[in-house]
Amino acid sequence: MAMAIKLSLLLLFFLASILPTFSIFQDQVGFMDWHQRYIGKVKDAVFHTQKAGRKRVVVSTEENVIASLDLRRGEIFWRHVLGANDVVDKIDIALGKYVITLSSEGSILRAWNLPDGQMVWESFLSGSKSSKALLVVPANLKVDLDSPVFVYSGASLHAISNIDGEYLWKKDFATEGSIDVHQLILPGGNDVVHAVGVTGSSQFDTYEIDVKNGGLLKHTSASLPGGVYGEILPISGDRFVALDASRSVLVLLTIQNGQVHLEQTHVSDLIHGSSVNTVILPSKLSGIFSLRTDDCIVFIKVTNEGKLNVMEKVDKMVVVSDALSLSEGEQAFALVQHGDSKIELSVRLVHDMSSNHLKETVKMDHERGFVHKIFINNYVRTDRSHGFRALIVMEDHSLLLLQQGEIVWTRDDGLASVIDVTTSELPVEKIGVSVAKVEHNLFEWLKGHMLKLKGTLMLATLDEIEAIQKIRLQSSEKSKMTRDHNGFRRLLILLTRAGKLYALHTGDGRIVWSTLLQSLRTTSQQQCSGLKLHQWQVPHHHALDNNPSVLVVGRCGLSLTSPTALSIVDAYTGKELPTMGPAQHSTVQVIPLPFRDSTEQQLHLLIDADKHAHLYPRTPEAARIFQREAENVYWYSVESEAGILRGYGVKSTHSSNVPDEYDFETRNLWSVVFPSESEKIIATVTRKPNEVVHTQAKVIADEDVMYKYISKNMVFVATVSPKASGPIGSATPDESVLVVYLVDTVTGRILHRMTHLGSQGPVHAVLSENWVVYHYFNLRAHRYEISVIEIYDQSRAENKDVFKLIVGKHNLTTPVSSYSRPEVTTKSQSYFFTHSVKVISVSSTAKGITSKHLLIGTIGDQVLALDKRFVDPRRSLNPTQAEKEEGLLPLTDTLPIIPQSYVTHAFKVEGLRGIETVPAKLESTSLVFAYGVDLFYTRIAPSRTYDSLTEDFNYALLLLTIVALVVAIFVTWVLSERKDLQEKWR
Amino acid sequence: MELTKPSILLLLFALLISSNLAFESDELIADDEEFGLEGGRSPQIPSRSQSPPKPTRKRSADSESDSRVQFALEHAFGDSSEFSVAGTFTARLKTSAHGGQILTKLRFSRNDLTSTEKDEFKKLLENDDYYKIRLPSDVLNAPGRDYVISSVKARCLPRDGLDEHILIQMEGVNILAVNYGSSGACPYPRQLKLPTKWSFNSHTVLKYSELAPRTPIFSEDIGVVDIGDDEGVKPLVERSFWAKYWMYLVPLGLVVMNAVTQGLNMPEEQAGGQTQQAVGAVPRGQGPAVRRRLRRFTLQQSCSDGSSPSARLQPFFQSGLFLRWFCNHPVLMVHSLNDPSIDPSVECVYMYFYIVSIQTVSCFFLNS
């Protein structure tokens, strides 16, 4: 009887642990995931501090974000991410309550409500031809007037009502000849708007246009014999300055009584010394302009007589802000000078350039690089004098607010432009914890446990529950800097567009270290940018004392043949290791080889534009290892423009024209030429190199076995007919054909080829194990589709007999060669899918046992987890009993979108660009990192956490069971003793 | 009736062919003979049926003369040598009603290897180097944009002669790719083997793209097929007895198995006791204690030393082998029958742990 009870108790315990946990509960948010919001590198900023309430600044960024930031803390009040093609040109604030943005080359004008970011109105401006986009918002017009916003775009001037975005009038400049308008000026108090520009690069024109109806009032023009370089800059109401085409003569234009007077001054007369790259800086300072020459920045004052006076020369790394009008006639601007680990901010008044109005020195982390931009704003101090705050944008795209000589807040907005991601293990925990630390935390620890106990016993008040939640979130366990048993704690190493490397802790997303890579810094001679991030050294067996490191490959210059920048960075400290200098060759492809040297450095092959292979690390040992395996190293290149796929191998013999033993000549082994008139490559996808496949066999319903064709050398290629390569709707179903290929990259063999009629891209695909899933648009059905191809190896299909397997008569252990003729069969199926997709990825686990989830980045910037079983090609309308047992789902025409299976639950990863999955050590779990403008990290368990207890595991029941068992053991022991005694007495 | 299956198939095939031939005009038969395939495998031509039926002799003769296409196969030995002509493909160009052109009736004639070529090939075999071939990417105005190259380790080719298998992937009149290799396997440690006969044994196949299967479009009522994720009313399907009660049956079975072993051990014990009684020399009080010890011993043995059938399986249970076998055996995964939302791979792991722990627990209780 007792046993039955115990058994049922045990059963209960097992049943409790089987309960499914698909999605997470509300209180689990933030427990294993984090979400960070960024805006990107700030391009333009407009302050809004008129009201005493919440002070804010509105910024537009290079990630096409418009955001309103809190000036006191740097937090985002609201934010809008415009599409990738909707580049923000200008922003401004109108009427003190609307943010006006001009985007998409001046074709879309929007007004957003300043307090909450709601869109108020939107107007589409059509122009006859593309041109510069200019926006002028009148500042001084009376509010009761229906004050228009003036936009110059598409070679015409538009006036748009401030209140509702209504179209008031349009003045087309295309009829006036090919004028290129440089400036729109709205002189205060006047009813005219001035458009200043250049016609045909040698004629200066100004137009005065009536604000009321767009009528042309006056047109003055003058010929510019020297042409114009750059833009015409207004100095004051009737004075303009320009640089001639040779960049050596300054032209001062003065308009008097409808006549234009030209006055030419040689730059060399002003600055004494020649300068080639002279530029007029676009900072608008009244009466003054600034000129950047080869070695300095010169401030030049224009006197009333039209004379140019050099006022000051400063270092050329100085950054100048726009002028800020303080009070009547008074203007100030800021200069930032970069010193050694500090920056100097000085504010000067325009009419009094001689002295600094304000000079502050701020300590600056040198990992932030130089100052790129500065925006200043003033406020009234408690003593009624003018105070200034400055918003500065640094080289690493971070945004800082300086005030009173201090950094008030910083935002690491470089993280909005992640290029590549890799992960690194954390250091192994050192044995021995300092006692002081424990004692210090003892009270806290006890308190925490008391709180938790209260929570468990449901005695906690609301505040206490909140505190418990906080403790749970901040539990040191998950943000520790050591390796954990489950492999959840890691460093995410991110390479950003600014050439900065960040290491983020997966536990809470904090920045552990960040390094501005010196080898990737853009100098005046060359523009460097990061390309790829690879694991360089993963200490495993031999070199456990070494820290892991990552390899950053960059390119200095814009063309493919530009030299390579290489850098190796310690993953624990973020220090750049000095072992690698810049490379002379270019890099178009980086191939991590599956070989390691004795210090566990991964061998890499860098392919340059001339198809030479360069081996790294450059050690004799690596060369020896590579020479041994060079025979079996193959790679391929995709020439999308030419529509050619080429395969290469390393030339075995050394020829004389290769400089050293680490450079190898390559040879073309195969090529696939897509006919240019009917096919254009739009997508190529390969398997992840580190993917693990657990079993090569798949047991199907009738106890039959299918062998997966698992080849690491498989590439998926999608081509469309050239007409259909444009956006959806640009081609008719008859002219658009999508062809998909599975190509073996060693031999160039086309393993499978399939045509989708009436379909077109964009194609997003993921290749894993023996299947590929791809997403495209079906023009005939007017819907998106997801198709799957699974590829099976027929040559192993005979190995079904268990007897044969036991005796060893099978070919499962024979090495697979790509040179053997493959006998493959494929199965495929298409399904409709509601969403359009930005990116597709797949979950990856340590051993590959756990079933897979497709991770689909939807157009709504969320990540949807879709079970791979939904895109099984073997689904049929009425699965047999055996197939049901196997877990095959009945066929549907559409893939379901289950709201609970959004991995990102309530969050949006704005501007989603990539989803990276990393296996945890725990087989059931996969770490997911999605990046775009935002960052999001979580862990997913596609088959639920079957190998560990869930967070909400009922420990109480387990304890109860154990106690009951112990009691039962004692009782039975006593009983048996007693029985024994009785028997002895018998 | 000794007709086996293959022979019936052969007969059917022959009938099919003969009926086909009967349908076509005699002119075409001659054509077939003329463009007979060397490789033995028929090219996979999807739009063969689109050819205009029964063309008149005159017209077809005219179109034939200008629709014959020739293109060269070129080969190279290793990196150093240049490409040279190795053979010629001849094919017929067919124009379909839509204006699309395809090649049919591919025929390949390979030039004999010259003595220098033989030497070079031998060198390739010794160095385990590549034998390369190339074809023009456009057969009408060769070489088109670029050559389509393929290469193979030379050691893959020799059998008796030199076996080659050429699969040409076509798109209209363009050659997309050529897959060149041996017709069979070429396992990795490639052995050096010289062919006995220095002539190529060629198999050529033309391949066009296949169409993707259409997405099934269901009418609305079928579209609402239950996929196990919506909480709509699911039809209650009666599950089998085993599917319902396996979790009780499994421990019961184990317990019974263990108990049976115990029962089998009991008579022995009884017998031992009786002999003891018969001898009578042993003091009375000691009897039960010894018996108990003995019983305990046998039971312990039954669970750990493998005298019980279930205990014998214990090491098998505990090894991952069982898990793998279990997880790959669909018959056992009965419980997830009607719930497709449950992942079978997970369920079997749960079940596995369940059974193993039940086994351990039942052993423990029988022991105590």
Ranges of beta strands (E only) in A211-341 are 216-223, 229-236, 239-243, 249-256, 259-266, 279-280, 288-292, 296-302, 308-315, 319-320, 324-325, 331-339
Choose the closest CB to B365 out of A3, A749, A894.
A3
Cα B94–chain centre separation? 35
The answer to whether the Cβ–Cβ distance between A651 and B247 falls below 8 Å is no
The answer to whether the Cβ–Cβ distance between B177 and A672 falls below 8 Å is yes
Say yes or no to pLDDT of A289 above 60: yes
Query: Can you tell me the mean pLDDT for A288-311?
Result: 81
Q: Rounded to 5 degrees, what are φ and ψ at B335?
A: -70, -25
Q: Which residue out of B153, B167, B176 would a mutagenesis test of the A interface target, given it has the greatest number of A Cβ atoms within 10 Å?
A: B176
The answer to whether the Cβ–Cβ distance between B336 and A703 falls below 8 Å is no
pLDDT of residue B325: 60
Is the pLDDT higher at B21 or at A861? A861
- Asked whether A86 and A106 are in contact (CB, 8 A), the reply is no
DSSP element (H, E) containing A827: strand A824-833
pLDDT of residue B193: 80
Locate the chain A residue with the closest alpha carbon to B77. A669
Residue type, A429: E
Is the pLDDT higher at A33 or at B315? A33
Choose the closest CB to B368 out of A748, A870, A972.
A972
The answer to whether the Cβ–Cβ distance between A831 and B145 falls below 8 Å is no
B293 to chain A, minimum CA–CA distance in Å? 12
The answer to whether the Cβ–Cβ distance between A892 and B225 falls below 8 Å is yes
pLDDT of residue A839: 93
A970 to chain B, minimum CA–CA distance in Å? 11
pLDDT, one tens digit per residue, over A656-676 is: 555 677 888 888 899 999 988
pLDDT of residue A502: 93
pLDDT of residue B32: 38
Contacts of A892 in chain B (CB under 8 A): 218, 223, 225, 227
- Asked whether A592 and A604 are in contact (CB, 8 A), the reply is yes
Is the pLDDT higher at A185 or at A436? A185
Contacts of A830 in chain B (CB under 8 A): 212-215
Query: Can you tell me the mean pLDDT for A192-203?
Result: 81
Choose the closest CB to B215 out of A781, A817, A849.
A781
DSSP element (H, E) containing B275: helix B241-279
Locate the chain B residue with the closest alpha carbon to A756. B212
Query: Can you tell me the mean pLDDT for A635-643?
Result: 90
- Asked whether A236 and A302 are in contact (CB, 8 A), the reply is yes
Contacts of B365 in chain A (CB under 8 A): 3, 6
Say yes or no to pLDDT of A918 above 70: yes
Rounded to 5 degrees, what angle do the CA atoms B124, B125, B126 make?
A: 90
Contacts of A966 in chain B (CB under 8 A): none
The answer to whether the Cβ–Cβ distance between B179 and A885 falls below 8 Å is no
Is the pLDDT higher at A543 or at A119? A119
The answer to whether the Cβ–Cβ distance between A652 and B215 falls below 8 Å is no
Locate the chain B residue with the closest alpha carbon to A876. B216
Query: Can you tell me the mean pLDDT for A884-896?
Result: 83
The answer to whether the Cβ–Cβ distance between B216 and A877 falls below 8 Å is yes
Choose the closest CB to B215 out of A748, A832, A884.
A832
Query: Can you tell me the mean pLDDT for A131-159?
Result: 75
For residue B182, give the DSSP letter: -
**Would you give per-residue pLDDT tens digits along chain B (368 residues)?**
444 455 554 444 444 444 443 444 444 333 333 333 333 333 343 333 333 333 333 333 344 445 788 888 898 887 777 888 888 888 888 887 777 788 888 888 888 888 888 888 888 888 888 888 988 888 887 777 888 999 888 888 888 788 888 888 888 888 888 888 887 777 777 778 888 888 888 888 888 888 888 777 765 444 444 444 444 344 445 556 766 676 677 777 777 777 777 666 655 545 444 444 444 444 444 455 555 554 444 444 444 444 445 555 555 555 555 655 655 554 444 444 444 445 555 666 666 677 777 767 766 666 55
Residue A371 to residue A373: CA distance in whole angstroms: 6
Is the pLDDT higher at A542 or at A536? A536
B182 to chain A, minimum CA–CA distance in Å? 7
The answer to whether the Cβ–Cβ distance between A18 and B350 falls below 8 Å is yes
Is the pLDDT higher at A316 or at A399? A399
The answer to whether the Cβ–Cβ distance between A896 and B130 falls below 8 Å is no
Nearby residues of B267 by Cβ (< 8 Å), 6 or more positions away: none
DSSP element (H, E) containing A867: strand A863-867
Say yes or no to pLDDT of A822 above 90: no
Listed range (A7-11, A361-365, A443-447, A820-824) with the worst mean pLDDT? A7-11
The answer to whether the Cβ–Cβ distance between B337 and A885 falls below 8 Å is yes
Contacts of A894 in chain B (CB under 8 A): 223
Contacts of B167 in chain A (CB under 8 A): 749
B256 to chain A, minimum CA–CA distance in Å? 13
pLDDT of residue B27: 42
Contacts of A869 in chain B (CB under 8 A): 340
Residue B288: CA count within 13 A, CB half-sphere: 11
ipTM of the complex: 0.76
Three-state SS annotation for A39-57: CCCEEEEEEECCCCCCCEE
Query: What would the two tokens of residue B183 be?
Result: 């017709």
The answer to whether the Cβ–Cβ distance between B169 and A750 falls below 8 Å is yes
pLDDT of residue A467: 76
Rounded to the nearest integer, the mean pLDDT of chain A is 82
- Asked whether A750 and A740 are in contact (CB, 8 A), the reply is no
Most confidently modeled of A370-384, A546-560, A732-746, A936-950? A732-746
pLDDT of residue B137: 86
- Asked whether A793 and A708 are in contact (CB, 8 A), the reply is yes
The answer to whether the Cβ–Cβ distance between B149 and A748 falls below 8 Å is yes
Locate the chain A residue with the closest alpha carbon to B148. A671
The answer to whether the Cβ–Cβ distance between B213 and A829 falls below 8 Å is yes
Is the pLDDT higher at A561 or at B248? A561
Q: Which residue out of B129, B335, B343, B347 would a mutagenesis test of the A interface target, given it has the greatest number of A Cβ atoms within 10 Å?
A: B343
Q: Rounded to 5 degrees, what are φ and ψ at B82?
A: -85, 165
For residue B285, give the DSSP letter: T
pLDDT, one tens digit per residue, over B162-219 is: 888 888 888 888 888 888 888 777 777 777 888 888 888 888 888 888 888 877 776 5
Query: What would the two tokens of residue A628 be?
Result: 């041994």
Nearby residues of B219 by Cβ (< 8 Å), 6 or more positions away: none
Query: Can you tell me the mean pLDDT for A61-82?
Result: 90
The answer to whether the Cβ–Cβ distance between A675 and B153 falls below 8 Å is no
Is the pLDDT higher at A294 or at A120? A120
Cα A732–chain centre separation? 34
Choose the closest CB to B182 out of A644, A821, A830.
A821
Say yes or no to pLDDT of A54 above 80: no
Listed range (A325-329, A397-401, B318-322, B333-337) with the worst mean pLDDT? B333-337
Contacts of B123 in chain A (CB under 8 A): none
Residue type, A578: P
Please count the residue pairs, one from chain A and one from chain B, whose beta carbons lie less than 8 angstroms apart.
225
pLDDT of residue A239: 83
Contacts of A867 in chain B (CB under 8 A): 343
DSSP element (H, E) containing A373: strand A371-380
Alpha helices, H only, A359-503? 435-456, 462-473, 476-479
Say yes or no to pLDDT of A384 above 50: yes
B307 to chain A, minimum CA–CA distance in Å? 22
Nearest Cα to Cα of residue A331 among A303, A312, A353 = A353
Q: Which residue out of A671, A823, A924 would a mutagenesis test of the B interface target, given it has the greatest number of B Cβ atoms within 10 Å?
A: A671
